[in-house]
Amino acid sequence: MGEIIVLVVGLVAVIGAAGGVCGYWLAKRGELHRRLSALEREMASLRQAPPAAPRPQPRETPRTRASFEPEPAPTPAPTAGPEPDPAPQPAPLRSEPVRPAARTTPAPQPPAAPDIVLRAWNWLRGGNTLARVGAVVLFFGVAFLLKYAAEEGMMPIELRLMGAAAGGLALLIIGFRLRHKRRDYALVMQGAGIGIVYLTSFAALQLYHLIPAAAAFLLLAGLTAGAVALAVLQNAPWLAMLGVAGGFLAPVLTSTGDGNHVLLFSYYLILNTAILAIAWFKAWRSLNLLGFAFTFGIGTAWGLSAYQQTDFATAEFFLIAHVLLYTAIALLYAHRQPPRLTGLVDGTLIFGTPVLGFSLQAGMVQHHQYGLAISAAVAGLFYLCLATLLWRRLAPTARSLVEAFLALGVAFATLAIPLAVEGRWTAAAWALEGAGIAWVSIRQRRRLALAFALLLQLVAAPFFAVDVAYGQTSLPLLNPVYLGCLLLSLAALFSGWYLHRHRRNYPHNWYWLPPVLLGWGLLWWIAGAGAEIQEFVAQPYRQNALLAVLAVTALLTSSLRRPLHWSALRWPAVGLLPVMGALTLTALAPVLDYGALYRQHPLGALGYLAWPLAFAIHYAVLQQRRDDLPPTLLAPLHAAGLWLGVLWLSWEVSWWLHGVAGGAWPLAAWGAVPAVSLALINRILVSRPTDDTAQGYRQLAAYPLAGWLLLWGLGANLTSSGAPGPLPYVPLLNPLDAATLLAALAVLRQLLAGRNTAWGRALPEWAGTGAPALLGFVWFSAMIARSVHYWADVAYRLPALMQSVILQASWSLSWSLLAFAVMGWAHRRGARRTWMTGAGLCALVVVKLFLVDLAGTGTLARIVSFTGVGLLLLAVGYFAPLPPNRAREASR
């Protein structure tokens, strides 16, 4: 045992000697460093001295042209300032002495507070780096030495503790005596000494029970007061941080796992009181943040691992005390700023203290029915009273604080409502907290704090989505789900708008943030509304209810665009139409099953309110944004809105006809409604030939409608039997024929009216007449087939129709009559191309006669077809021969 003691004493002596040598060397190095710095400052001041003013030049008379050329300026002596401007042209009449321009020094900007890790790194690199590293290592070494000694039973415990305390006091006294000669080195030694004495005192109390609790706390209070006094006296924030950090780490390093939380947090209360005392004299933000991080970090760790229901009274007292302490510290920090920084708010403490405190409070009162609601109401009342008091006492200099506390008061008062209903603390408050920090950081141009605020809002979302759920007694709108979504939405929307409002304070690569926050906020707005609809609205009404919410949202964003001066608000309103299209596709999903298409209709389940409202808001928004949106976007939005409206109206009329009559009536509606719409476009807009919107309708909207009518006419006539029930079938006087004729006339009118438009000129020449002609031919042939189906009792199926001799003869004769009419008209008009079309139809009839009709040998139909077609061809040859080629005759 004696050998071990000798070994330890020898080791301490060697370490002390080595420390003395290192200290002497570091002291000499520090002195040389200061001399070199003073010499560099003196040389820099000599470089910045203004040059002597040049002598005035004698007055000169005007010279010849050569004299107007600038003479080379004399080479100035090299200086550290900026390069001189080019020599000016000499004045022809008078020359004034050249005076050095006064250098304007821009007003210093308030430096942004760096990150705590960056501060620590800068402190470690500045001054005596080795000394500071040595102090940190020595602190941990003494801590581990004490712990090892306690475990091995070396030396009496009283002697070990007294030796450690004596060493700490020696470091403190030596550092204090060197404060004028070696400031950096002295501050490091003082901080190390204070930390060692803190550690030793706590070990004597908590581990070995050598001193009573009252005496220990008096001793710790004295040490804290001493550290505070030394830090304030020497204006040394890092001395205070070293001392306070040593105090906070002492119970952690010497913990045995079975400590008393009352003793622990009483001790921390003393340390935080010391930080409050320092904040009374100095605005040391780093010290405030250090104490805040240690207090709430260790408090949270204890709460998660060791808190019991029986600890509520004492834990509640310490929580309230520390929240009040750090609220006061934040107030003092804002009040004790230098003159240029008065009013600067420490956003981390202002907003971090209530959110962490309320989170810990939530964990302690979660088993009480209204505990969290009462806590939120009390917190809201506290911050509202604090804001009112500051406004009355310090209104000119504390505007930012008043606004911050007012926002917190309103936020907690708002949270009290859903918490009283459901009694649940959700992460939506984090998003609200993030909005508050974003507001402060944007006002103070702190990019790092702004990034943290936005990250807090982003992280709050998944926590909220995982933890929140509807209860059995939830009320519409007054439940945690909707109010949480609303808070998340409002936090993001406010952050985006405020950042957009102060966008000039940030670089261009930050300009994408406001639109992203707008989208994020609207996403949660719609999510909250969708959750309410899913929970409280019956299934048939959900889609129309969601559409109404989206339409009102589009109207709100469009209306707030000008008052808020936020150009991005125009895009959600523009996005209403794509959403309407998506809902339409969802509703039309049963289209694969034609019968299921009519199980619902657009105006059912209050659709007669939702869809007209959506269309009205869509066109109202387009009218509002007429000057804001580019024409390349405005015209497609108008056209797409018209297409969607025609689609819904066609579906609704078709559904109604399906229930009333059935048969071909519903199919006819899909052609009749677009045909009437196309005719109305050309009729109404004919009086507005120069209007850009009208031109967009006449081209971008009308031509696709015409294309749809062509496709519908071909498809309907090729597939439908045209059942007119309950009416009898009469050609032309049935729904399918009437709708087809109406569609053909509308398409023809569109092609004729749009010949001089850009779209009309882009169409091929044959498309202007070929497309309606093809539709007419298919409809005419289908009408003959339907007539045979109803009058000759032939099944309306392709094999049966193709085998019907009556139909084949009817087609041959009718096609021949049609060709005769076309060729006769072409002969009178001299239209050779049209005549050739009729001739082609005649050729088709002849080919059909020999390939199809000839199969009906011996039948009366075959005889009628051949005879009739032959007579018609003879009549064509006599009455309507090929018109002459006028161009060739003119050349002759």
Q: What is the pLDDT of residues 599-634, one digit of tens each?
A: 677 777 888 888 999 999 988 888 877 777 777 788
The pLDDT of 823-833, averaged and rounded, is 78
Q: What is the pLDDT of residue 112?
A: 42
282: left (phi over 0), alpha (psi -120 to 50) or beta: beta
More confident residue, 71 or 196: 196
Q: What is the pLDDT of residue 756?
A: 65
Which residues, in sequence order, are CB contacts of 2 under 8 Å at separation 6+?
Answer: none
Give yes or no: residues 646 and 774 share one domain: yes
Is the model's pLDDT at 381 over the cut of 50? yes
Q: What is the pLDDT of residue 695?
A: 64
| Residue 523 included in any domain | yes
Q: Concatenated DSSP letters for 346-401?
A: -HHHHHHHHHHHHHHHHHHSTTSTTHHHHHHHHHHHHHHHHHHHHHHHHTTT-HHH
| pTM over cut 0.75 | no
Q: What is the pLDDT of residue 93?
A: 40
The pLDDT of 343-370, averaged and rounded, is 81
Q: What is the pLDDT of residue 833?
A: 78
Identity of the amino acid at 160: R
Which residues, in sequence order, are CB contacts of 556 under 8 Å at separation 6+?
Answer: none
The pLDDT of 70-88, averaged and rounded, is 41
DSSP state of 80: S
Give me the sign of the Cα torsion angle 555, 561, 563, 566.
Answer: positive
The pLDDT of 633-640, averaged and rounded, is 85
Least confident of 125-129, 440-444, 525-529, 721-725: 125-129
Integer Cα distance of 93 and 178 in angstroms: 68
Q: What is the pLDDT of residue 245?
A: 77
Instruction: Give whichever of 131-135, 351-355, 366-370 has the largest mean pLDDT.
Output: 351-355
Q: What is the pLDDT of residue 471?
A: 59
Please give the structure tokens belonging to residue 860: 């009366």
The pLDDT of 213-226, averaged and rounded, is 74
Among 779, 856, 790, CA closest to 814: 779
| Residue 50 included in any domain | no
More confident residue, 46 or 64: 46
CB 456 within 8 A of CB 430: yes
Q: Taking all residues of the chain, what is their mean pLDDT, rounded to a whole number?
A: 75
Q: What is the pLDDT of residues 797-811, one digit of tens each?
A: 888 888 887 888 788
Among 57, 51, 58, 48, CA closest to 99: 51
* Total tally of structural domains belonging to the chain: 6
| Residue 77 included in any domain | no
| Residue 476 included in any domain | yes
The pLDDT of 235-244, averaged and rounded, is 76
Give yes or no: residues 376 and 299 share one domain: yes
Give yes or no: residues 227 and 321 share one domain: no
| Residue 38 included in any domain | no
Integer Cα distance of 171 and 199 in angstroms: 14
The pLDDT of 168-196, averaged and rounded, is 83
Q: What is the pLDDT of residue 669?
A: 92
Confidence of residue 148 (pLDDT cuts 50, 70, 90): low
Integer Cα distance of 307 and 301 in angstroms: 9
Give yes or no: residues 739 and 764 share one domain: yes
CB 325 within 8 A of CB 272: yes
List b or e across 497-509, with b for residues whose CB sees 16 or more CB atoms inside 10 angstroms: bbbbeeeeeeeee
Q: What is the pLDDT of residue 674?
A: 94
- Other beta carbons less than 10 A from residue 879's beta carbon: 12
Q: Domain end: 741, 773, 803, which one?
A: 803
| Residue 6 included in any domain | no
Q: Domain end: 382, 409, 425, which one?
A: 425
726 upstream amide cis, omega within 30 of 0? yes
Integer Cα distance of 219 and 429 in angstroms: 41
**Percent of the chain at pLDDT exceeding 90:** 11
Give me the sign of the Cα torsion angle 687, 689, 693, 696.
Answer: positive
Confidence of residue 89 (pLDDT cuts 50, 70, 90): very low
Give yes or no: residues 329 and 360 share one domain: yes
Please give the structure tokens belonging to residue 600: 């619902």
Q: What is the pLDDT of residue 489?
A: 92
Q: What is the pLDDT of residue 59?
A: 45
More confident residue, 241 or 417: 241
More confident residue, 385 or 693: 385
Give yes or no: residues 236 and 287 share one domain: no
Give the angle 663-664-668 at the CA atoms, nearest 5°. 145
Give yes or no: residues 130 and 215 share one domain: yes
Q: What is the pLDDT of residue 574?
A: 84
Domain extent, residue 711, equals 641-803
More confident residue, 528 or 3: 528
Q: What is the pLDDT of residues 836-884, one digit of tens each?
A: 888 887 778 777 777 776 665 445 555 666 676 667 666 766 666 767 6
Give yes or no: residues 241 and 326 share one domain: no
Among 323, 297, 413, 304, CA closest to 366: 304
| Residue 64 included in any domain | no
Q: What is the pLDDT of residue 519?
A: 92
- Residue indicated by tokens 């088709």: 844
Is the model's pLDDT at 85 over the cut of 50? no
Confidence of residue 114 (pLDDT cuts 50, 70, 90): very low
Give yes or no: residues 138 and 238 share one domain: yes
- Residue indicated by tokens 């008379």: 61
Give yes or no: residues 769 and 691 share one domain: yes
Q: Concatenated DSSP letters for 772-826?
A: HHHHHHHHHHHHHHHHHHHHS---SSHHHHHH-HHHHHHHHHHHHHHHHHHHHHH
Give yes or no: residues 402 and 365 share one domain: yes
Q: Domain end: 803, 838, 873, which one?
A: 803
Q: What is the pLDDT of residue 470?
A: 63
Give yes or no: residues 189 and 241 share one domain: yes
| Residue 460 included in any domain | yes
Among 572, 579, 567, CA closest to 557: 572
Q: What is the pLDDT of residue 768?
A: 63
Is the model's pLDDT at 183 over the cut of 60? yes
Q: What is the pLDDT of residue 7?
A: 34
